[in-house]
Amino acid sequence: MRKISLISFFIFFITFSFGTNSFAQENPEDLALVDNKIEDDFYTALEQRGIENYDKAIIAIQKCIEKEPKNPAFYYELGKNQLDLKNYIGAETAFKKAVEFDSKQRWYWNGLYDVYYQTRDFEKSIPIVEKLIEFDPNMREDLVSLYMNTNQKEKALNLLKEMQATSHLSSTMVFYKLKIEESNEFAKPKKETLEEGIKKNPKYEQNYIDLIVLYTSFNQEDKAFEVAKRLEKEIPNSDWAHVTLVKFYLDKNEGANASKSMFKVLGNDKIDLKIKHRVFNEFLIFAIKNPEFFKDVDEAIPYFNSDNQLNVSKEVAKFFWTKKDLEKAIYYFDKALKSNSQDVETMDYYLSVLIQKEDYKALIPKAEAFLELYPTQPSFYYYAGFASNKINQFKKAKDFLENGLDFVVDDKAIERDFYTQLIISCENLGDVAKKQSYSNKLKQVK
């Protein structure tokens, strides 16, 4: 029997409250008849809606409203059917009635939002979504989109900053934020606005960050430093303050303070990796002039171990290599190999530095170890052969060089280097024929 259907019972149990009020003075038998009639009509409305007979569903639900004119569930059901028929005025009226009688039901507000969304009435949507946020904070994304569609960029940006302070922004929200910040009116936020924002809410971090960026863009470093100090005081656990403080401490030659700030930045997962690289590079340049801080450089490198794009030890080593500081270059290339033992380029750099250091005895076993990993890498054979010639191990040099020559393909420069070293090996071994052969090949390559 449909009167005891689960759907009907559930809906009436949740939404109807006519039992003790509307029919308090009526005969119990009359009351039962009315109850049954409403239930019949309501079930008919659900049934007709289920098979998309929205007109018949509306007729049935209107009969329910005639008997229960203050029941919000009936108006909500009416609104849904009107919306399906694209009778937007009727749907809006019905959902408003539902909200009027019960403003605590999220779905009634959602019905209104559906009407305004479909009619693209963004202005009317805004207060509805503001209400829906009380039920579901994720609706803030909808509110941002509405602000963007109504050109309320300042409100959108403020809301985005609030969202960013508590969670990661979705790709759409990041796009909106960048779009706003790149527009002329927001590219350089007014100093007064940010100062006022800090005064009203001294615990809101983003205003400090924006003001620091603003002052820095105007080359007003001292003012940016003062803002960073205020941020550190108001929000002691804010690592963003230290992004700016690192540079100021370095400029003031306060290495210990700069080091503390750098590690605050490096340890914060929310700070972008590019910013961390910049902070680290600034400290590295300082450490070159103040070698006692290289221990901090060493301690900082592991913070970048998860960086799949860049081997920081390797980049530091290359930096020192270009500066002709071979001791530090070899030290950091060695650290780079410990971080990534499969990096051919780092191996190549490592051996070339040993050549420059003229540390031939150390080079040969290193080259042999690398050849076990990459037996077709010609440069490793060349370095081993070159070093062997230098320590008068000409037979060993000749073996390395001849074996490596087989792997040289379309590289005239390294081919010339191989022949040059082979001529030296053969001359010292008294192998005149081979020496002549390699001399002829060298002429051909040249």
Instruction: Write out pLDDT tens, residues 12-33.
Output: 333 443 333 333 334 333 333 3
**Cα angle 189-241-289, degrees, rounded to a multiple of 5:** 115
Whether 408 has a pLDDT exceeding 50, the answer reads yes
Q: What does the pLDDT read at residue 32?
A: 38
CA distance 320 to 318: 5
Q: What does the pLDDT read at residue 15?
A: 42
Domain 377-446, CATH number (from 1.25.40, 1.10.540, 1.20.120, 1.10.1760): 1.25.40
Q: What does the pLDDT read at residue 185?
A: 62
pLDDT digits (tens, 9 = 90+) for 70-83: 888 888 888 898 88
Percent of the chain residues past pLDDT 90, beyond the cut? 27
Helix axes 122-135, 140-149, angle to 10 degrees: 160
CA distance 31 to 14: 19
Query: Residue 2: which pLDDT band, with cuts at 50, 70 and 90?
Result: very low
Mean pLDDT of the residues in the chain? 83
Q: What does the pLDDT read at residue 168?
A: 78
Q: How many CB atoms lie within 10 A of CB 420?
A: 15
CA distance 312 to 303: 9
Question: Taking the domains of the chain in order of start, what are their residue ranges?
Answer: 1-119, 377-446
Q: What does the pLDDT read at residue 227?
A: 85
Residue 51: Cβ-neighbour burial (10 angstroms; 0-12, 13-18, 19+): exposed
Percent of the chain residues past pLDDT 70, beyond the cut? 89
Q: What does the pLDDT read at residue 326?
A: 92
Q: How many CB atoms lie within 10 A of CB 62?
A: 14
CA distance 247 to 197: 25
User: Cβ contacts of residue 413 below 8 Å, gap of 6+?
Assistant: none
Residue 281: Cβ-neighbour burial (10 angstroms; 0-12, 13-18, 19+): middle
Q: What does the pLDDT read at residue 271?
A: 73
- Give me the amino acid identity at 58: I
CA distance 401 to 381: 6
- The fold of 1-119 is 1.25.40
Mean pLDDT of 233-241: 80
Nearest to 377 by CA among 423, 329, 411: 411
Helices (H) and strands (E) in the chain, counts: 26, 0
pLDDT digits (tens, 9 = 90+) for 79-123: 898 888 888 898 888 899 888 888 888 898 988 999 888 888 888
Q: What does the pLDDT read at residue 11?
A: 41
Mean pLDDT of 305-332: 86
Are domains 1-119 and 377-446 of this chain identical in fold? Answer: yes
CA distance 329 to 333: 6
Q: How far is CA 207 from the centre of its chain?
A: 21
Return the H-helix or E-strand segment holding 309. none
Mean pLDDT of 278-291: 88
Q: What does the pLDDT read at residue 188?
A: 55
The token pair that represents 265 in the structure block: 């930045």
Of the candidate ranges 68-77, 233-242, 292-301, 412-421, the one whose mean pLDDT is the lowest: 233-242
Mean pLDDT of 289-297: 90
Q: What does the pLDDT read at residue 257?
A: 92
Pair 2, 46: CB distance under 8 Å? no
pLDDT digits (tens, 9 = 90+) for 179-194: 787 665 665 557 888 8
Q: What does the pLDDT read at residue 184?
A: 56
CA distance 385 to 362: 13
Q: How far is CA 15 from the centre of its chain?
A: 45
pLDDT digits (tens, 9 = 90+) for 199-219: 888 888 888 888 877 776 676
Nearest to 346 by CA among 300, 372, 313, 375: 313
